[in-house]
Amino acid sequence: MKLRVYRFNPDTDQRPRLQDFEVTAIPGMMLREALIEIKKQDEGFTFRHSCGEGVCGSDGVNVNGRNKLACITPLAELKEPVVVRPLPGRPVIRDLVVDLSQFYEQYRQVKPYLVREDPLPEAEVRQSPAERDRLDGLYECILCACCSTACPSFWWNPDKFHGPAALLQAWRFLADSRDQATEARLDALEGPYKLFRCHTIMNCVEVCPKGLNPTRAIGKIKDLMLEKGV
Amino acid sequence: MPIPTRHFDALILGAGGAGLNAALRLAGADVRVAVVSKVFPTRSHTVAAQGGVNAALSNVLPDNWHWHMFDTVKGSDYLGDQDVIEYMCREAIPTVYELEHAGVPFSRLDNGRIYQRPFGGQSQNFGGEQAARTCAAADRTGHAILHTLYQQNLRARSHFFDEYFAVDLLRDDEGYVLGALVLEIETGEPLIIAAKTTLIATGGHGQVFRTTTNAFINTGDGMAMALRVGVPLMDMEFYQFHPTGVAGKGMLITEGARGEGGFLVNGEGERFMERYAPHALDLAGRDVVSRAIATEVREGRGCGDAGDHVLLKLDHLGRDVVARRLPGISDICRTFLGIDPAVEPIPILPTAHYAMGGIPTDRFARVVVPARHGPEEVVPGLYAAGECACVSVHGANRLGGNSLLDILVFGRAAGQDILRYLQDNPNHRTMTDAAVAPAMARLERWERSGEGESVHAIKAELRKLMEDHCGVFRTEAVMAEGVERLKALRGRVDSVRLADHSRTFNTARIEALELDNLVDVGMATLLAAHYRQESRGAHSRIDYPERNDQAWLRHSLYFRDGDRMDSKPVRTKPLTVDSFPPKERVY
């Protein structure tokens, strides 16, 4: 199977290029395994990966124009030549490795942690199964950055718009019955950019490898803002 | 050019559950703490833990910490140290509540309490009915815990060195650990992190085996670093093969699948665990279930055309239970097998999963080594916690749900003791060139150019060798041959060359440094297995089928210098309760 991969090593290259590799595809093979095969052929080829089962979020890449996790993308589903590029819109460090510091900074901006003002009980803070169900589809995010780097609003304003991944986490804590920082969280999202640059293009929903829906979460934040504003 | 140096009170190597829980204690106490991780923290392998964390909360069935302690001692095949087991089982309860308060999205019961499921080796009342002790966030408990701990560390403003690779510990003439030499992966530049205390929390080394549930990053880095500064590794022969890895691929299928009511069948459609563990059935200890599966396959009762696996049946549980309690493994089955586990059984096989052994530590997570005054003298300023450590709470076999517990309890214990140590040792010790030189030499060795073998070829050979010579069943002849082959392989590492010497994000260089670690830790594992002439827990010798408490109720120790083996006694005395004397272990 033919793969066409993005190559750029700042130590040696003036500009990026695409390089073709031939990999013997075996049944059930995932894209990550093909990338590992390429690295055997050329040890300079560089990409991030770790768990191999879609939970660590290391190996987000752009495959035939779409952001995916390499480890859970079957080769058999891909059209040849398989064009593999780094996640779009972020500075390339080397080959498929991009600089995600802005992405992580946006995550930090939404204060992604539970805030509890009341004295803590001796045992657990009670939460009903229905309240807990509201966190499904939110807490599973693996921070792979497939969504935010597929979002045109994030491409244009990565320093101002939080992007879908961070906003999904903003809603994850707003939706948590145990959290007691609703007002502060909503206040922090006000203004034309942080939240409201989302134009419901929904690329995030389309590419999320975990099947999560940041657009819906963003909509819920907006609803809550309206509700609190009344 | 001198190597730049940064100064911190505490250095933590590794950002999984153990490292992050320690960091949280320290940052919360205004200690300057540096967390070094070769991957962004939420990519650490804690993220892949599925089933849950044990604590005797009694939310579903009656329970108490003392029963948990009994099960853990029995599960360890009596090799676990009973003082630390008592400590861990007592601490489990406040630890889980603390996690919940920090935001972990545990699944819930109708009364709002944390959901708990039955797991293997759990009993009520010291060996009675099945208990339900494993606190779960669906089957993504590790993910939920790791992300929560990272989030709380952001709140506490811990200082992270993301994508920095620790090359080696720095140790002075008097034996004090002064910090570590690390490599910034993005720039390829070395950096000295000078610290008054250092915690090794680098996780396991499943990558020494060809088929493993472990991630690519699990290369035993911290264990090998300890070996290279003269610290032995303890009980390395006890490597857990998880009963239910996806056959031929290795992805983990949580024990929670059996906890929710799933069971195993062989090629004849027989529920074979009835023969091996009439009482506990599929929820016997992991060593017992793995041996049962391996035996069925060896004796020709496997499933499939090649008869090389057995099946895990979940189809009788109903769609709702599978979707609600086991969504993660449903994803894995769909993605890697193209099946829906609510409809079709899962082909499984025991798969290399977890190191019971590691860097010897005490209850305070301090590294302890044999020295002048006995077998357990503290190495000043050095700590270890999590899978890389051996405290030892798991002994010869770890119970499911006790690994998340171990990393959390002893990560926190490390944090607390580091605070104590810093009060008594407020100053940095002098960093010397002599302390840095060996670490720099290891780094610079990979600058050599020219023709040579490749890292991936040696690594592939190592992983096959360990699988062939150090698997579920072991014999003298097979292991002795393995030791000879591994020594020869180790000799060839010196002739390995990198083709790529560029600085920027050179993962080939990282993989070469990891190869050194894998070889050292593989040697420790194989030599320890060869050393122990009995069967206990996960260590099954066909030539020594019985447990031998007279000779071997002892912890093994492997020293890298001269490939030397030694042993030390098991701490059989708990902190406050009576000890559990060794008994025959039946489930």
> How would DSSP label each residue in A12-60?
T-SS-EEEEEE----TT-BHHHHHHHHHHH-TT------SSSSSS---E
Contact A39 B456 (CB under 8 A): yes
Q: Specify whether the CB–CB gap between B403 and B419 falls below 8 A.
A: no
The tens place of each residue's pLDDT in chain B, 587 residues long, gives 689 999 999 999 999 999 999 999 999 898 999 999 999 999 999 999 999 999 999 999 999 999 999 999 999 999 999 999 999 999 999 999 999 999 999 999 999 999 999 999 999 999 999 999 999 999 999 999 999 999 999 999 999 999 999 999 999 999 999 999 999 999 999 999 999 999 999 999 999 999 999 999 999 999 999 999 999 999 999 999 999 999 999 999 999 999 999 999 999 999 999 999 999 999 999 999 999 999 999 999 999 999 999 999 999 999 999 999 999 999 999 999 999 999 999 999 999 999 999 999 999 999 999 988 888 999 999 999 999 999 999 999 999 999 999 999 999 999 999 999 999 999 999 999 999 999 999 999 999 999 999 999 999 999 999 999 999 999 999 999 999 999 999 999 999 999 999 999 999 999 999 999 999 999 999 999 999 999 999 999 999 999 999 999 999 999 999 999 999 999 999 999 999 999 999 99
pLDDT confidence band for A228 (50 / 70 / 90): confident
Q: What ranges make up the beta strands (E) of B220-315?
A: 233-234, 239-246, 263-265, 310-313
A127: closest chain B residue by CA: B112
DSSP B78-90: T-S-HHHHHHHHH
Q: What's chain A's length in residues?
A: 230
Report helix, strand or coil for B473. strand
State how far the Cα of B451 lies from the Cα of B498, in Å rounded to an integer: 9
Nearest CA in chain B to A105: B154
Q: Does B505 reach chain A within 8 Å, measured CB to CB?
A: yes
Q: Which of A53, A113, A126 sits opposite B155 (nearest CB)?
A: A113
The separation between the first and the last C-alpha atoms of chain B, rounded to the nearest angstrom, is 62
Q: Inspect the interface and report whether the beta carbons of B97 and A50 lie closer than 8 Å.
A: no
Q: What angle do CA B339, B292, B255 make, to 5 degrees?
A: 50
| Tokens describing residue B218 | 């699990």
Residues of B in contact with A91 (CB under 8 A): none
**Probe site for chain A from B59, B149, B505 (most A CB atoms < 10 A):** B505
Q: How far is A132 from chain B (nearest CA, A)?
A: 7
Question: Does B154 sit within 8 Å of A40, measured CB to CB?
Answer: no
Which residues partner with A122 through β-bridges?
none
Instruction: Convert B380-408 into a string of H (helix), E (strand) and C (coil).
Output: EEEEECCCCEECCCCCCCCCCCHHHHHHH
> In angstroms, rounded to a whole number, what is the distance separating the alpha carbons of residues B383 and B220?
16
Q: Do the beta carbons of residue B256 and residue B139 sit within 8 Å?
A: yes
B positions 81-110 inside 8 Å of A (CB): 96-97, 100-103, 105-110
By the CB < 8 Å criterion, does B151 face chain A? yes
What type of residue is B70?
Answer: F
In the prediction, which pLDDT does B30 show? Answer: 85
CA-based radius of gyration for chain A: 20
**Residue type for B567, please?**
S
Q: With DSSP H G I counted as helix, E B as strand and the rest as coil, what are the percentages for chain A, rounded to 5?
A: 35, 15, 50
Residue of A nearest to B114 (CA): A124
Coil, strand, or helix at residue B205? coil
Nearest-CB residue to B100 (from A94, A125, A140): A125
With CA atoms as reference, the chain B residue closest to A172 would be B105
Residue contact B102–A57, C-beta within 8 A: no
- DSSP state at residue B361: B
Q: What's the gap in Å between the CA of B149 and the closest CA on chain A?
A: 9
The pLDDT value recorded for residue A54 is 96
- pLDDT-derived band at A78, boundaries 50, 70, 90: very high
Q: Please identify every residue of B annotated as catalytic.
A: 286
Q: Which residue of B has its CA nearest to A107?
A: B151
Q: Does B251 touch chain A (CB under 8 A)?
A: yes
Give residue A230's pLDDT: 58
Cβ-Cβ pairs closer than 8 A, A with B, add up to 149
Provide the 8-state DSSP code for A87. P
Closest approach of chain A CAs to the CA of B460, in angstroms?
11
Query: pTM of the full predicted structure?
Result: 0.97
CB B182 within 8 A of CB A136: no
β-pairing, B177-184 vs B159-162, is unpaired
Q: What are phi and psi of B332, to 5 degrees?
A: -60, -45
Contact at 8 Å (CB) between A141 and A54?
Answer: no
Contact B216 A128 (CB under 8 A): no
Q: Cα–Cα distance between A62 and B435 in angstroms, integer?
A: 44
Interface confidence, given as ipTM, is 0.98
Cα distance from A192 to chain B (closest Cα, Å)? 26
Task: Indicate left, alpha or beta for B318 from its phi (over 0: left) and psi (-120 to 50: alpha).
Answer: left
Does B42 contact A142 at a Cβ distance shorter than 8 Å?
A: yes
Pull the structure tokens for residue B503: 């600085």
Chain B residues with beta carbon closer than 8 angstroms to that of A28:
249, 336
Best mutation target among A7, A35, A55 (most B Cβ atoms within 10 Å) is A55
Mutation to test the B interface, candidates A75, A96, A114, most B Cβ within 10 Å: A114
The dihedral over CA atoms of B342, B344, B346, B347, expressed in degrees to the nearest 10, equals 180
Cross-chain residue pair A56–B39, CB shorter than 8 Å: yes
Chain B nearest CA to A103, separation (Å) = 12
Of B40, B110, B336, the CB nearest to A129: B110
The pLDDT of residue A181: 97
Subunit contact B251:A12, Cβ cutoff 8 A = no
**Spatial distance between the Cα atoms of B105 and A178, rounded to a whole number of angstroms:** 10
What sign has the CA pseudo-torsion B1, B6, B12, B14?
negative
Query: How far off is chain B from A184, nearest CA to CA, in Å?
Result: 15
Contact A212, A166 (CB under 8 A): no
Contact B108 A129 (CB under 8 A): yes
* Closest Cβ–Cβ partner in A56, A135, A142 for B105: A135
Which residue type occupies A110?
Answer: V
- Residue B326, both tokens: 């086991």
pLDDT for res A215: 97
Give B266's contacts (C-beta < 8 A, 6+ positions apart).
Answer: B272, B296, B301, B302, B303, B310, B311
Compute the CA torsion angle B395, B396, B400, B404 (nearest 10 deg). Answer: 40
Q: Do A125 and B45 touch (CB under 8 A)?
A: no
DSSP A74: B
Q: What is the pLDDT of residue B372?
A: 82
CA distance B152 to chain A (A): 6
Residue A2: burial class (beta carbons within 10 Å; 0-12, 13-18, 19+): exposed
Neighboring chain B residues of A9 at a CB cutoff of 8 Å: 502, 504
